């Protein structure tokens, strides 16, 4: 079977396959089963409780081999301890290594009325994103005083993206092929236009890890269901992703019928666009009850504004008016410049406020 046909089949199965008994009762089908077993392309699916505690507590800051940040801009480490407060905030770390979360929840000081499920980007460890969440919490303590931050950790994939990166990354789907395809070439060329990126995203010769996206979608659906149970009636659940996590969040918005109150995909792209466009007639049948916002930074050299804009345009074509898809450009924001308190972090907080 051709790769494109396989991708379409897997995407269609998210919506059309016969639901198991748990899903018919309102509980999404959870992948992987418990206890989890690694998928064929992954080293591991979920960390043990001890490994999770050790990973979070590692006093390691980000090593910016890409040169995106100047040395002064690289933030300090933010080690976390299960059961303790996040430094400088009133949120408390709750660790849960079990499926489907496989990560942490930052519990608010007040009774929770909303949950933000955060999908991190491609990373060798969660440390940089621990700093990001701490920065956002410190930037708007009142806005997030009753908001749970739910932080699942993606499985680790073997990857050979470049010699400058470690061989294993936590990823929501295998990104390795992207760097050698039209999308990667477009990102490397600062002159690539929105039209150029649209062509790259729908390139018939591109390949996408449809299986990884399928597993991630099912896992996120199960996490959303758990948050619905944890919140009072009328509580809001928002999906927020950054970089490769934004790509995963965009995919969830395209294929899933899960009950969300908003999707914010910051500085990412829409993966698997050719298959999604072929399935748009099916994917657009269900009207979403939330808006989708794709966010770019005007100074971002990785998730380039033209790439994010092109992704928003394609997602509108996929969903055919079944929900509002919006493109937002944040002036002066780079790929990681909202890691430290200031204007850029405040701009991201204002985007999230729209959904709370």
The structure tokens listed for 19 are 């639901």
In angstroms, the CA 114 to CA 108 distance is: 10
Dist CA 271 CA 201 (whole Å): 7
**First-last CA distance in the chain:** 44
DSSP 98-142: STTT-EEEEE-SS---EEEEEE--SBSSTHHHHHHHHHHHHH-TT
pLDDT at residue 166, as a whole number: 53
User: What pLDDT, on the 0 to 100 scale, is given for residue 62?
Assistant: 56
Residue 169: predicted pLDDT: 82
Q: What is the pLDDT of residue 112?
A: 98
Query: Over its length of 356 residues, how does the chain's per-residue pLDDT go in tens digits?
Result: 454 444 444 444 444 333 333 333 333 434 444 444 444 444 466 888 999 999 898 766 555 555 556 666 666 778 899 999 999 999 999 999 998 999 999 999 999 999 999 999 988 888 889 989 999 999 999 999 999 999 999 988 765 555 445 557 888 998 878 878 899 999 999 999 999 999 999 998 888 989 889 989 999 999 999 999 999 999 999 999 999 999 999 999 999 999 999 999 999 999 999 999 999 999 999 888 899 999 999 999 999 999 999 999 999 999 999 999 999 999 999 998 888 789 999 999 999 999 99
pLDDT computed for residue 41 by the predictor: 43
Q: What Å distances lie between residue 31 and 28, 93, 211, 247, 307, CA to CA?
A: 9, 25, 11, 19, 30
Token pair for 115 = 């949950």
Per-residue pLDDT, 57: 86
Under DSSP, is residue 299 helix (H, G, I), strand (E, B) or coil? coil
pLDDT tens track for 47-89: 889 999 998 987 665 555 555 566 666 667 788 999 999 999 9
Cα 2 to Cα 5, 175, 275: the distances in Å are 5, 20, 12
The distance between the two most distant Cα atoms of the chain, rounded to a whole number of Å, is: 54
Instruction: Decide: pTM greater than 0.85.
Output: yes
The single residue listed with the structure tokens 């966010």 is 295
Domain boundaries, the chain: 3-353
297 and 278 in contact (C-beta within 8 Å)? Answer: no
Q: What topology does CATH give the domain 3-353?
A: Rossmann fold (3.40.50)
């Amino acid at each position: 079977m051709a790769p494109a046909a396989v991708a379409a089949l897997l995407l269609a199965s998210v919506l059309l396959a016969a639901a198991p008994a748990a899903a018919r009762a309102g509980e999404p089908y959870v992948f992987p089963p418990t206890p989890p077993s690694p998928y064929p392309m992954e080293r591991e699916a979920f960390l043990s409780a001890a490994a999770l505690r050790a990973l979070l507590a590692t006093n390691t800051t980000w090593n910016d081999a890409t040169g995106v940040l100047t040395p002064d801009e690289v933030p300090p480490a933010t080690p976390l301890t299960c059961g303790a407060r996040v430094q400088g905030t009133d949120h408390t770390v709750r660790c849960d290594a079990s499926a489907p979360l496989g990560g942490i929840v930052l519990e608010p000081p007040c009774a929770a009325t909303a949950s933000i499920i955060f999908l991190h980007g491609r990373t060798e460890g969660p440390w940089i994103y621990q700093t990001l969440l701490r920065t956002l919490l410190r930037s708007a303590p009142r806005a997030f005083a009753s908001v749970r931050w739910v932080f699942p950790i993606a499985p680790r994939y073997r990857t050979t993206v470049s010699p400058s990166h470690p061989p294993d990354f936590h990823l929501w789907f295998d990104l390795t092929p992207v760097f050698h395809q039209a999308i990667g070439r477009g990102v490397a060329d600062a002159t690539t236009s929105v039209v150029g990126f649209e062509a790259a995203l729908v390139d018939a010769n591109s390949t996408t890890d449809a299986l990884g996206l399928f597993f991630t979608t099912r896992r996120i659906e199960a996490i959303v269901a758990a948050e619905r149970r944890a919140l009072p009636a009328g509580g809001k659940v928002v999906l927020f992703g950054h970089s490769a996590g934004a790509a995963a969040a965009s995919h969830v918005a395209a294929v899933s019928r899960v009950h969300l109150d908003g999707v914010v995909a910051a500085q990412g792209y829409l993966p698997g666009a050719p298959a999604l466009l072929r399935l748009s007639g099916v994917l657009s049948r269900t009207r979403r009850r939330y808006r989708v916002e794709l966010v770019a930074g005007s100074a971002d050299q990785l998730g380039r504004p033209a790439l994010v804009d092109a992704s928003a345009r394609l997602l509108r074509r996929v969903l055919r008016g079944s929900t509002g898809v919006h493109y937002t450009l944040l002036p002066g924001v780079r790929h990681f410049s909202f890691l430290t308190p200031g204007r850029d972090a405040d701009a991201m907080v204002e985007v999230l406020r729209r959904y709370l």
